[in-house]
């Protein structure tokens, strides 16, 4: 698997895309680890969700398509999922435990290309070509983050 979108089928899940596999580890070792800082709050805000499993469960529950070109990044070191939503969405996520919105004044570490991921900036889903990222609907994402944890989330380690 050369990148997060390689080998995808219609049935690929968010959990499968975010999994740290031997193929990803090899890619990280072979990549040039080129990352950069993307400015939040202009075209999109980033919703940082900890633990990562909570964000993956919410994306799965809302049936967000894995092939739409959404900007979804995993930080495996921090067990954090970063999901792009429309700018000025911070109020939508108030009072949700484990959630922080990165908006104006914040930057997000992103791989320069899908092949340049690292353990701290791994594309789970990335924009297609030069197209802007497809954004996850903030209100729907927040609603699913507010729902009670599934058994899988309850077992997730707390950092």
Say which residues have a Cβ less than 8 Å from residue 148's Cβ, sequence separation at least 6.
Answer: none
d(CA 134, CA 67): 10
Write out pLDDT tens, residues 22-45. 888 877 777 677 888 999 999 999
Note the pLDDT of residue 39: 94
| Tokens coding 149 | 């944890």
Q: In this predicted structure, which of 10-14, 47-51, 83-87, 153-157 has the lowest mean pLDDT?
A: 153-157
Between CA 54 and CA 103 the distance in angstroms is 20
């Amino acid at each position: 698997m050369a990148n997060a979108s390689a080998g995808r089928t219609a049935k690929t899940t968010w959990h499968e895309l975010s999994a740290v596999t031997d193929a990803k580890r090899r890619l990280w070792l072979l990549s040039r680890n080129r990352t950069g800082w993307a400015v939040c709050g202009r075209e999109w805000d980033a919703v940082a969700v900890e633990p990562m499993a909570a964000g993956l469960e919410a994306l799965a529950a809302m049936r967000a398509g894995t092939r739409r070109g959404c900007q979804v990044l995993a930080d495996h070191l921090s067990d954090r999922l970063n999901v792009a939503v429309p700018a000025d969405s911070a109020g939508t996520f108030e009072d949700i435990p484990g959630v922080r919105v990165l908006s104006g004044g914040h930057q997000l570490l992103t791989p320069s290309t899908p092949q340049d991921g690292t353990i701290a900036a791994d594309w789970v889903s990335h924009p297609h070509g030069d197209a802007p990222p497809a954004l996850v609907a903030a209100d729907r994402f927040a609603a699913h983050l507010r729902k009670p944890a599934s058994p899988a989330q309850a077992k997730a380690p707390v950092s």
